[in-house]
């Protein structure tokens, strides 16, 4: 059965996406989507605007977030779906993450300036008002101001994990992320599990451990998966009794090869996936 597609992993200008929440609703409408989850990095600031913009349409908005975590030195991402947008404790936690990012970003800008690039922290902020600033935003700034020829150069020369201007930042554990998401009423999904360069055994070990700590699901449908990946992730979810989610990880022109709802052209996330998540949410009384 064909149902209208959905997209449960979307970024706006509240983090490193290039479309505002309002513009995303218009794009989602053009793409024929019936639901989108706004999942900005460490931010739920765009939810209210998205809900408002969607109120004139049939599009359902799922309030979400994407938290960066550290698992034995490997960065992994946790998606929270159905976060309460007015949860004060959760918002306070996000503000704390924002302060950690701020000091790390200031340090990175200093290093970039030492490399002779024309950037100041004030100018970076001015180019990204009201936004959680990630390396994605810094890369964009460097391209737009002629410091590097393109995004991939920004990452390969300056911003990548092994590069001269990269500054790590302390991150929470995946288990802490799950707890925070649950406390804010949400369900926790390990984002893009195949992007962590883990073999199936280590991934299964991680997911088994996280399931014990309350993990609700994994992102089994994703833009950049190779043929077979989706089937393998669905099988793993079934074996571990985990829910699945799916999305494009749309960032607008910050990831120009990914389109909302369809990823690289062949992504399809059916509404049934959301129905199962909603049923689980009801059962969990969150």
Q: Point out which residues bind ligand AMP (CB under 6 A).
A: 16, 41, 68, 134-136, 151, 155, 160, 251
> Of 5, 64, 136, 186, which one interacts with Fe ion (CB under 5 A)?
136
Of the pair 230, 249, the CB lying nearest Zn ion is at 249
List helix spans (H) across 119-244.
Answer: 121-127, 135-144, 151-153, 174-183, 200-212, 229-239
Q: How far apart are CA 145 and CA 127, in angstroms?
A: 11
Of the pair 81, 143, the CB lying nearest ligand AMP is at 143
Of the pair 77, 101, the CB lying nearest Fe ion is at 77
Beta strands in the chain (DSSP E): 6-10, 35-38, 60-71, 74-81, 187-190, 217-222, 243-247
> Of 40, 54, 77, 180, which one interacts with Fe ion (CB under 5 A)?
77
Quick check: 151 binds Fe ion (CB under 5 A)? no
Checking 235-240 for CB contacts under 8 A at 24+ apart, the result is 236/200, 236/203, 236/204, 236/207, 240/204, 240/207, 240/208, 240/211
Question: In sequence order, what are the beta bridge partners of 188?
Answer: 80
- Which of ligand AMP, Fe ion, Zn ion, none does residue 186 bind (CB under 5 to 8 Å by kind)? none
Residue 240 DSSP symbol: T
User: 102 phi and psi, to 5 degrees?
Assistant: -60, -50
Query: By rule CB under 5 A, what string of x and - marks binding of each residue 88-127 to Fe ion?
Result: ----------------------------------------
Q: How far apart are CA 5 and CA 192, in angstroms?
A: 19
Q: Considering the complex, what minimum distance in angstroms separates the CB of residue 52 from ligand AMP?
A: 26
Q: Considering the complex, what minimum distance in angstroms separates the CB of residue 3 from Fe ion?
A: 26
Q: Assess contact for 15 and 131: CB atoms under 8 A.
A: yes
Of the pair 46, 136, the CB lying nearest Fe ion is at 136
**How many residues interact with Fe ion (rule CB under 5 A)?**
4
**CA atoms within a 13 Å half-sphere pointing along the CA-CB vector of 74:** 15
- Which of Zn ion, ligand AMP, Fe ion, none does residue 155 bind (CB under 5 to 8 Å by kind)? ligand AMP
Of the pair 43, 119, the CB lying nearest Zn ion is at 43
Q: Considering the complex, what minimum distance in angstroms separates the CB of residue 227 from Fe ion?
A: 21
User: Which spans of this chain sit near Fe ion (rule: CB under 5 A)?
Assistant: 16, 77, 136, 191
């Amino acid at each position: 059965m064909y149902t209208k597609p959905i997209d449960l992993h979307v970024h706006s200008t509240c983090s490193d996406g290039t479309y505002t929440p309002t513009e995303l609703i218009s794009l989602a409408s053009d793409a024929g989507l019936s639901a989108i989850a706004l999942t900005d990095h460490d931010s739920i600031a765009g939810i209210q605007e998205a809900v408002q913009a969607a109120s004139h349409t049939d599009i359902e908005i799922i309030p979400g977030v994407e938290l960066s975590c550290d698992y034995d030195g490997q960065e992994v991402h946790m998606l929270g779906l159905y976060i309460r947008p007015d949860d004060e404790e959760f918002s306070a936690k996000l503000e704390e993450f924002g302060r950690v990012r701020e000091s790390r970003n200031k340090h990175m800008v200093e290093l970039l300036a030492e490399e002779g690039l024309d950037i100041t922290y004030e100018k970076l902020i001015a180019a990204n008002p009201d936004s959680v600033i990630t390396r994605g935003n810094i890369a964009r700034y460097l391209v737009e101001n002629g410091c590097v020829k393109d995004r991939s150069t920004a990452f390969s020369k300056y911003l990548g994990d092994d590069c001269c201007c990269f500054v790590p930042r302390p991150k929470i554990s995946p288990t802490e992320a799950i707890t925070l998401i649950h406390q804010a009423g949400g369900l926790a999904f390990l984002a893009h599990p195949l992007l962590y360069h883990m073999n199936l055994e280590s991934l299964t070990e991680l997911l088994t451990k996280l399931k014990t700590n309350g993990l609700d699901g994994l992102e089994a449908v994703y833009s950049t998966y190779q043929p077979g990946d989706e089937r393998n992730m669905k099988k793993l979810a079934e074996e571990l009794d985990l829910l699945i989610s799916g999305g494009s990880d749309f960032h607008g022109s910050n990831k120009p090869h990914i389109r909302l709802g369809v990823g690289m052209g062949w992504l399809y996330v059916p509404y049934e996936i959301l129905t199962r998540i909603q049923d689980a949410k009801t059962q969990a009384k969150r």
